[in-house]
Amino acid sequence: MLEVVPSSPQVLLLVVVLVFVAAKLLFTGKDKRPPLPPGPRPLPLLGNALDFPKSHLGREFRGLSEKYGDVAYLSVLGQSIILVNSYDAACELLEKRSGNYSDRPQSAMVKMTNLDWIFVFKDYGAEWRRYRRELHVSFVPDMMTRYFAIQRQYTRGLLRNLLDTPADFSAHIKFSFAAVVLRIVYGLDPEQGERKYYKLVERLATIAEDISTPGRHIVEAFPSMQRLPSWFPGTGFRQLAATWKAEIASIRDYLYDSAKETMGTSGVKESIITRLTEERVEDELSRNVTATIYAAGSDTTNAAVHAFVLAMAMFPEAQRKAQTELDAVVGPDRLPDFADQKSLPYVCALMKEVLRWHVVAPIGVPHRSTEADEYGGYYLPGGSLIIVNQWSISRDPAYFPDPENFYPERFLLNGQLNPAIRDPAKFVFGFGRRICPGLHFAEAALFLNCAYILHTLNITPPLDLHGNPKKLEMRTNSLAVSHLLPFECRILARNAHMEELVRGNGA
């Protein structure tokens, strides 16, 4: 009969240690990975939902990054979010590793409204590349020069409107940009003062900005709520999405059909839609690409010009220096032109400072990683949302000292543009394969508007009841595209000669 001999305490301890080591090797040895980036401690179930900003996302996200570093981690209801707060980290991830970081997050509201025809919301893939090609072709340098005459025409009209009714400057700016892009994209010429078209694009942009702003709709956090009946509490998003879906399609189709009808009855004006028609691009792609260009081109650049107007009212010294340069280079008898741009370094620096001072898209549009990755010794889970804080990059004191001050000289050295200073265009238009395809058009439009206005007009603060200048400050909304809240200013011709130049028929 076999006799079992009790084990000694030392043998038992050895067995326990061996079992522990084996278990550790079995369950963790195959999945050794760095830690997640630092971030606030998550709560059970909610994760970091309460840490997610509700307004002024750029400023509040920067507060998290100052505490946890340039790459921080949040988990919101199970969704991994990588917050990127530095230009170098954004370039490393979104440009050098763009193959892994060019997708977009899945959005319940985008799908419910069928808004994924807008290029910015499209998933990365074959269809995205088809759309990208058509957008790229529309804004190559050869095509850009064809738009110059149209831009000059409507920007001069803007000057006249600003002289006639300066209190309506905001409506005039919106009309001007809507008219320029409407003519370039659809070949349509709206009548002066006609607000219908810019109201359409404004509405389309507002819906898209609302949907793309993180945290606006509960269904984004709980997609399964789409299956709840409409009477269930908290499902108001369903009716909203249904209304928006019909409204968005109506705006897109109205613009496209109006252009097609005009082409058939009034002759053909060279435009993006005529090129797409000549190249026999399929109807749905043409319809979607043209509406995408119209919405993006009209909305974001007019937001930048509003910021320019506010900056000139707030910082008169910058306005005066730019006007002195324009007087020396352009002279009193003509308006500036694109050919003058290289000879106007201060005006160009001022334009760059506008882009930096008021970042139109403070956190851009989030990217999505397709595979797990590592950066800076940290593990970045696959399927993470990547949020680049472009507003914070614009406020990096290492590159932009005294960042809240409007100071164009920061981009100059010995009176010329300093290539050693980071150009805001390298981050305010996005990164990698998702960079804005119309960025060169936007920069050209901003230059022409700034140069025309500076050369001919003076912008000053409004006056109080005692005739003293009121103090102005930048106040913005909290959507994905940052628009200034309404403000007042005074706009007058610099002198009688400049008023005659604006109202005359010469160049």
Query: Which CATH number characterizes residue 86's domain?
Result: 1.10.630.10
Q: Residue 452 belongs to what domain range?
A: 70-503
Return the H-helix or E-strand segment holding 387: strand 385-388
Identify whether 110 is part of a domain: yes
User: What are the structure tokens assigned to 64, written together?
Assistant: 């998290």
Identify whether 37 is part of a domain: no
Identify whether 164 is part of a domain: yes
User: Do 220 and 104 form a contact (C-beta atoms < 8 A)?
Assistant: no
Identify whether 19 is part of a domain: no
Gap between the Cα atoms of 136 and 250, Å rounded: 26
User: What pTM does this model have?
Assistant: 0.89
**pLDDT at position 478, please?**
83
Question: Which ranges constitute the DSSP H helices of 139-213?
Answer: 141-146, 148-164, 169-186, 196-212
506 Cβ contact list (under 8 Å, min separation 6):
334
Return the H-helix or E-strand segment holding 71: strand 71-76
User: Pairing mode, if any, of strands 373-375 and 378-380?
Assistant: antiparallel
Gap between the Cα atoms of 220 and 226, Å rounded: 10
Q: What angle do CA 410, 416, 418 make, to 5 degrees?
A: 50
The number of domains in the chain is 1
Identify whether 57 is part of a domain: no
Gap between the Cα atoms of 89 and 479, Å rounded: 24
**pLDDT at position 75, please?**
94
Identify whether 79 is part of a domain: yes
Annotated binding residue 436: yes
User: Do 451 and 496 form a contact (C-beta atoms < 8 A)?
Assistant: no
464 Cβ contact list (under 8 Å, min separation 6):
470
Q: Which residues of the chain have pLDDT under 70?
A: 1-31, 192-193, 267-268, 505-507
Identify whether 84 is part of a domain: yes
**pLDDT at position 193, please?**
64
Identify whether 184 is part of a domain: yes
